[in-house]
Amino acid sequence: MAAVIDANATVPAQGPWTPLSPQEAAELLAGADFPWWIAGGFAIEWAVGEPYREHSDLDVLVLHRDQARVRWHFEGWDLFLADPPGAGRLRAWSTGEDLPSRVHDVWCRRSPDEPWSVQLMLDEADGEDWVSRRDSRVRRPLAQLGQVTCTGIPYLSPEVQLFYKAKNVREKDQLDFDRVLPRLDAGQRAWLVGALELVLPGHAWLGRLKR
């Protein structure tokens, strides 16, 4: 039965979390008529080629322009928006609501009585190009935004995920950078260097990326 969503409802932006595995997320999104990519630490881990840390949530990147199809695909789920961003509370995403561009974080659970299990990250696009929500000067062809695992699961390319992690580097973000850096080819390094120099000049990662 579909969840009844009170459009005025708000909840704290906190746990509990029992994230889906990437494989479970892929099953959930099978047949979706919009592009999606596993993001966050799992994307880095797949690029590294082996697990090396725990994950407290599961991030899935989708495009803001596909929000209506995303909302339909998650019909019956309990969906909440980080709006306004950083406020510490989440508000319900009601069916048919058109999300403003400031909203790029959706928390998802199957029902109000269950833990959060998926976090959707909404990014921008312009035609066939992905556009960073943080700085529209940072772009990339959508066809080059992700990679695919041997089992067919799409995931965000590590250099793009590192660009997002670079703004506020936590311990796990530094670990992700350290582990995946040797796996980045020259093109991936060059793209990340260009993006960081444009948006975060002087970033601590630039020196190692350029070696």
pTM for this predicted structure? 0.92
- Residue partners of 199: CB distance under 8 A and separation at least 6: 132, 134, 135, 137, 138, 163
Instruction: List the chain pLDDT tens, one digit each, 211 residues.
Output: 344 455 567 888 787 999 999 999 999 999 999 999 999 999 999 999 999 999 999 999 999 999 999 999 999 999 999 987 777 889 999 888 999 999 999 999 999 999 999 999 999 999 999 999 999 999 999 999 999 999 999 999 999 999 999 999 999 999 999 999 999 999 999 999 999 999 999 999 999 999 9
Q: Is 11 strand, coil or helix?
A: strand
Architecture of domain 10-157: 2-Layer Sandwich (3.30)
Other Cβ atoms less than 10 A from the Cβ of 156: the count is 28
